[in-house]
Amino acid sequence: MEARYNFKEIEPKWQRRWEAGDLYRVTEDPGKPKFYCLEMFPYPSGNLHMGHVRNYSIGDVVARIKRMRGYNVLHPMGWDAFGLPAENAAIHRGIPPAQWTWSNIANMRRQLHAMGISYDWEREVATCHPNYYRWTQWLFLQMYKHGLAYRKKAAVNWCPSCATVLANEQVVDGACERCHTPVMRKDLEQWFFRITAYADRLLEDLQQLPGWPDKVKIMQENWIGKSTGAEVIFTVAGSGQEIPVYTTRPDTLYGVTYMVLAPEHPLVEELTAGTPYADPVAEFVQAARYLSALDRTATDKEKEGLFTGAYAINPVNGERVPIWIANYVLMEYGTGAVMGVPAHDQRDFEFARKYNLPVKAVIRPADGELDGAAMTAAYVADGVMFNSGPFDGVPNQAGIRKVTAYLESIGKGKARINYRLRDWLISRQRYWGAPIPMIYCDRCGIVPVPEEDLPVLLPEGVEFRPTGESPLTYCPEFVQTTCPQCSGPARRETDTMDTFVCSSWYFLRYTSPHSQEQAFKRDKVDYWMNVDQYIGGVEHAILHLMYARFFTKALYDFGLVGVEEPFQNLLTQGMVLKEGSKMSKSKGNIVSPEEIIDRYGADTARLFILFAAPPERDLEWSDQGVEGCYRFLNRVWRLVASYAEAVRQAGGPLGIKDHADRELWCLLHATIKKVTADVEERFNFNTAISAIMELVNGCYRYQDSVPEQEQNLALMGEVLRKLVTILAPFAPHIAEELWQGLGGRASVHLEAWPQYDPAALAAEEVTLVVQINGKVRDRLQVPAGLEREKIEELVLKQDKMAALLAGQQVVKIIVVPDKLVNVVARRAS
Ligand code: ANZ
Ligand code: ZN
Ligand code: ZN
């Protein structure tokens, strides 16, 4: 073995050999338990960043350990390759999106290879490849066939400068996340997936996911936003036209002092037509279009409104209340109309005070009074109904049911469940996405592209004009087609799909990535699904995970897959920080993975990433930390190199003969035990690595303290082989090289994960200090790691202790395992 750790040579060497030997290729093997380890696939932006390195290092350790533990491990990688940046590159720099994307993929694939991640590259997929998006289109058609894809006119967040539709999350403080232009609302005909049909199942089934972080489940729950209440029908004074409102508080119905419509409510124009209110109201409505839904409902946002001149009739008491419009009421939620109860809703309260609307209290504390005029904030707690006609004296929770039942009996309302979740808008007026496979025919209407005609290919050489329309619109070869039904002239849909559609099923495609006949093969999906461990950033906690869950449930209902949830366990990794803030281009605090790998090697980079913090926590970048990991690997190298030759010769039984031998032997097994528990039960890779470091220290202690001729080479050989084996998932290249140096023939990555020997652990003893009421009374030799109950039992059994405790009552026993026992006792009464 070379004396020097030469990562520059060994890393590429092993990457080539693993690849050539198909070390990480898998096929279905019914004889082995399977494990599907998946990291969120990256967008091919061009270069790996530290977030990727972290994500993939964590995933690789999990995959490698599972393999060593006898699982048949599927560990694939691919590219979430459609999306805006490619199109922007085309607009700004004239590079065709396909070319830009494929060259980025090539570069990132090379970088991933250089990290030595154990992917089955045979299964690589790219969502922008026709072999992939053909099936994305096919899945769209299945959604359409089952009534889950539909078209409607919808108000969207529109950035006039980017000329594109933005998701709510892409709107920050009312402005476009990318260019900071104020976002406006605009109506467009668009395609939707009916995810709301799955709202209840998406919510309920969260309970089937104990392996997901609670915070993610809570975010999903809030996003679905199930709310129970009632629909109450108000009528317009004069015309008698009905305006249903949605409320969670029918118990406050007697406290309504005004009504509010969303500015986009279809009645607004009608109510004001021909009145002096028409113009100012129209102006207000126009302005509201510039506010995103998020901003309009933010609690700290100033509430703005305007009287429409019309009045509504309260169905329970016939009272006339003014109808307003206000920015804080959204058309997309409930019915787009709200009954204003300023006494018991804080937003209504602020609105009423601002515009001098009356405040009428109808719920009072059980033992107190409440006067609407004197209130300084809404009273939102539970209480007793008053000022409420026949319901006076009813506790308000019961009142919710009673008022709802009463409304039902008079035909003025009904119980209703409402969800915050909206249908998924999947249309994008963009080129670089999967074309929506639909055709418009003047005679037949909307006609789906026949399945056998898929894929609808993206044309090349399109023109990019900043108009806000899909560039496909200007591509007559694409647009002009014939109707599959009547063979007459027809037009293709020019919208492409949201890239979240592509990423909602890629985990299924990995199970049969080359199939030309199907999106995925049922038997392969049945073998591999669910994903046993999914790993990725918490930024995908809501949308991607929700959409992937929705797809899986829909496909289950179509009879295409046998599981209802895609991801059994989820690990959300923390961020990589530098000087306390997230590494990002805009902050200029990026550390390039490529440079680190170049300078220290991939093993050091991986080891540092895993050592610096537990996976769920944020990780603070540290140059010294990297340096320290590099030094550690050098230390391992020198240790193994110094023994390699000698231990290759030494075989036979371990022949443990003295204290030093036993100590090393015990340390090895204690390390195996700890590392196994840390990685398997808790993903505590950082403490696992530090245990491995301790083992290396132990080996050096042995080397330094035992004279050379007396060193037990059979034992040292055993220790070093095991050391290298448990190091392998973390630092795979150096481990492989050292393994060969120690005489290993096959790859270390094919080794079984070592088992610890309980006999070795039992042999390790510790001295326990025994106290009574804090005074040291005894010392006991006990096996290390003895459980609390055993220690208590043992201590009380000692003759000496029994004598000292005679006539006393043991109140409690405090145990610090492996160190101390304190018996708290007092005179028996
Ligand atoms: C009267 C009332 C009285 C309300 C009261 C609350 C407290 P969640 O729980 O989120 O479902 N609301 C209904 N539709 C709305 C819309 N389109 N835009 C803005 N607000 C809307 O909230 C339901 C409550 O939010 C409803 O109950 C309604 O105000 C308001 F003491 O009705 B409530
Ligand atoms: Zn913009
Ligand atoms: Zn036709």
Residues contacting residue 168 through CB under 8 Å, at least 6 positions apart: 157, 292, 293, 294
Residue 364, token pair as written in the block: 């009072």
pLDDT-derived band at 588 (thresholds 50, 70, 90) equals confident
At 173 the pLDDT is: 80
pLDDT at 282: 93
Q: Is 344 in the pocket of ligand 1 (CB under 6 A)?
A: yes
409 in a domain, yes or no?
A: yes
Q: How far is the CA of 177 from the centre of ligand 1 (A)?
A: 29
CA of 546 to the centre of ligand 2 (A): 26
pLDDT grade for 752, boundaries at 50, 70 and 90: very high
Does residue 147 belong to any structural domain of this protein?
Answer: no
Q: Is the CB of 771 under 6 A from ligand 1?
A: no
Name the closest ligand to CA 163. Answer: 2
Q: Is residue 627 part of a domain?
A: no
CB count in 10 Å sphere of residue 468: 16
Q: Are 216 and 224 in contact (CB under 8 A)?
A: no
pLDDT of 667 > 70? The answer is yes
CB of 252 closer than 6 angstroms to any ligand 1 atom = yes
227 Cα distance to chain centroid: 24
* pLDDT band, residue 764 (cuts 50/70/90): low
Quick check: bond before 455 cis, omega within 30?
A: yes
In angstroms, what is the span from residue 181 Cα to ligand 2's centroid? 6
Tell me, what CATH number does 241's domain have?
A: 3.90.740.10
pLDDT at residue 332, as a whole number: 84
- Is position 400 within any domain? yes
Mean pLDDT score, 394-414 = 97
Alpha helices by DSSP H, 289-379 = 293-297, 346-354
Q: What is the pTM of this model?
A: 0.85
Question: Of ligand 1's atoms, which has the minimum distance to the CA of residue 333?
Answer: 17
The pLDDT value given to residue 399: 97
pLDDT of residue 738: 98
Question: pLDDT tens digits, residue range 305-314?
Answer: 999 999 999 9
- Summarize the confidence of residues 72-92 as an average pLDDT: 93
- The widest CA-to-CA distance across the chain, in whole angstroms, is 108
For residues 662 and 734, state if they share a domain: yes
Confidence band for 634, pLDDT divided at 50, 70 and 90? very high
- 329: Cβ below 6 Å to ligand 1? yes
In a domain, 387, yes or no: yes
Residue 740 C-beta-side C-alpha neighbours within 13 Å: 12
**Mean pLDDT, residues 105-109:** 97
2 exposure class (CB count in 10 Å sphere: 0-12, 13-18, 19+)? exposed
Provide the pLDDT confidence category of residue 466 given band limits of 50, 70 and 90. Answer: low
Q: What is the pLDDT of residue 597?
A: 96
pLDDT for 760 equals: 82
Mean pLDDT, to the nearest integer, of 423-432? Answer: 92
User: Cβ(338) to ligand 1 under 6 A?
Assistant: yes
First to last CA, the chain: 74
Co-location of 236 and 349 in the same domain: yes
Say yes or no: 641 and 748 in one domain: yes
Query: Tokens in use for 656?
Result: 């443990």
Instruction: Answer yes or no: do 694 and 768 share one domain.
Output: no
688 against 184, higher pLDDT: 688
Residue 361: the pLDDT is: 97
Q: Is 148 exposed, middle or buried (0-12, 13-18, 19+ CB in 10 A)?
A: buried
- Band (506; pLDDT cuts 50, 70, 90): very high
| Ligand closest to the CA atom of residue 252 | 1
In a domain, 710, yes or no: yes
Residue whose CA is closest, atom 2 of ligand 1? 249
Ligand of minimum distance to the alpha carbon of 486: 3
238 and 366 in a single domain? The answer is yes
- Token code pair at residue 78: 């691919």
Identify which of 246, 257, 299 to mutate to test ligand 1's pocket (most ligand atoms within 8 A of the CB): 246
Helices (H), 298-373: 346-354
Q: Which of 282-296, 315-329, 440-454, 477-491 has the lowest mean pLDDT?
A: 282-296
Distance 426 CA to ligand 3 centre (A): 25
pLDDT of the residue at 324: 97
Q: How far apart are CA 109 and CA 98, in angstroms?
A: 16
Q: What is the mean pLDDT of residues 765-777?
A: 90
Mean pLDDT of 145-149: 98
Residue 684 phi, psi (nearest 5)? -85, 75
What Å distances lie between residue 159 and 164, 167, 289, 427, CA to CA?
6, 10, 12, 15
212-253 per-position pLDDT tens digit: 999 999 999 999 999 999 999 999 999 999 999 999 999 999
Between the CA of 406 and the centroid of ligand 1 the distance, in Å, is 20
pLDDT number for residue 125: 98
Type of residue found at 412? K
E strands of 399-437, at which residues?
413-419, 424-425, 427-428
Q: What is the pLDDT of residue 543?
A: 93
The percent of residues in the chain predicted with pLDDT above 70, rounded, is: 97
pLDDT greater than 70 at residue 467: no
Same domain, 755 and 777: no
400 C-alpha vs ligand 1 centroid, how far in Å? 14
Instruction: Flag the least confident range among 614-628, 774-788, 812-826.
Output: 774-788
- Ligand 1 pocket, residue 232 CB under 6 Å: no
Assess whether pLDDT exceeds 70 at residue 596. yes
Sequence-distant (≥ 6) Cβ neighbours of residue 442 within 8 angstroms: 488, 489, 490
The average pLDDT across 615-624 equals: 95
Within 13 Å, how many C-alpha atoms sit on residue 625's CB side? 16
Domain count, the chain: 4
Q: Which tokens hold the place of 779?
A: 């010392």
Ligand 1 neighbour 249 (Cβ under 6 A):
yes
* pLDDT above 90: residue 598: yes
Distance from C-alpha of 595 to C-alpha of 49, rounded to nearest angstrom? 11
**Distance, CA 169 to ligand 2 centroid (Å)?**
13
For residue 724, tell me if it sits in a domain: yes
What was the pLDDT predicted at 513?
98
Which helix or strand (DSSP H or E) is residue 338 part of?
strand 337-340
Mean pLDDT of 668-674: 96
Helix (H) or strand (E) holding 32: none
- pLDDT tops 80 at residue 788: yes
Type and span of the H or E element at 808: strand 808-816
Flag whether pLDDT at 711 surpasses 70: yes
pLDDT of 446 reads 97
Pocket test for ligand 1, best of 248, 267, 268 (most atoms within 8 A of CB): 248
Question: Where residue 652 falls among pLDDT bands split at 50, 70, 90?
Answer: confident
The pLDDT tens digits of the residues spanning 789-823 come to 889 988 998 888 989 998 899 999 999 988 899 99
Domain end among 418, 440, 456: 418
Give the pLDDT score at 169: 66
* Structural domain range at position 377: 227-418
Instruction: Count other C-beta atoms under 10 Å from residue 742's C-beta.
Output: 21
Q: What's the mean pLDDT when you consider all of the chain?
A: 93
Confidence of residue 651 (pLDDT cuts 50, 70, 90): confident
Q: Are residues 747 and 682 part of one domain?
A: yes
Please tell me the distance between residue 489's alpha carbon and the centre of ligand 3 in angstroms: 7
**Any ligand 1 atom below 6 A from CB of 259:** no
- Tell me the C-alpha to C-alpha distance, in Å, between residue 512 and each of 125, 154, 733: 10, 37, 29
Residue ending a domain, among 392, 418, 444, is 418
Percent of the chain at pLDDT exceeding 90:
80
Indicate the residue type of 173: D
8 Å CB contact between 482 and 449: no
* pLDDT tier for residue 294 given thresholds of 50, 70 and 90: low
Residues 538-584 have pLDDT tens digits of 889 899 999 999 999 999 999 999 999 999 999 999 999 998 888 88
Same domain, 300 and 158: no
Task: Please give the Cα distance from 303 to 295 (Å, whole number).
Answer: 11
Q: Is the pLDDT of residue 626 over 90?
A: yes
| Arithmetic mean of pLDDT, 63-87 | 96
Residue in 295, 314, 333, 339 to alter for ligand 1 test, most ligand atoms within 8 A of Cβ: 333
pLDDT confidence of residue 160: 86
Determine the average pLDDT of the residues in 639-654: 90
- How far apart (Å, rounded) are the C-alpha atoms in residues 704 and 707? 8
Instruction: Identify the pLDDT of residue 813.
Output: 93
In a domain, 69, yes or no: no
If asked whether residues 351 and 301 sit together in one domain, one would say yes
Q: Return the CATH number at 713.
A: 1.10.730.10
The Cα–Cα gap between 79 and 101 comes to: 10
Phi/psi of residue 145, nearest 5 degrees: -60, -35
Q: Across residues 254-264, what is the average pLDDT? A: 96
Q: Are residues 249 and 362 in the same domain?
A: yes
| End-of-domain residue from the set 418, 441, 471 | 418
Nearest CA to ligand 1 atom 5: 345
Of 256, 296, 338, 382, the one to substitute when testing ligand 1's pocket (max ligand atoms within 8 A of C-beta) is 338
Q: Which of 148-157, 349-358, 657-666 shows the highest mean pLDDT?
A: 349-358
Which residue has its alpha carbon closest to ligand 1 atom 29? Answer: 247
d(CA 345, CA 379): 7
* Ligand 1 within 6 A of CB of 257: no
Q: 501: Cβ–Cβ under 8 A, 6 or more apart, which residues?
A: 136, 139, 140, 193, 426, 434, 547
pLDDT for the residue 539 = 87
User: Which ranges in 432-521 belong to alpha helices (H)?
Assistant: 476-479, 499-502, 506-509
pLDDT at 174: 80
Whether residue 528 is predicted with pLDDT greater than 90 in this model: the reply is yes
Is residue 775 domain-shared with residue 804, that is, in the same domain?
yes
733, 815: one domain = no
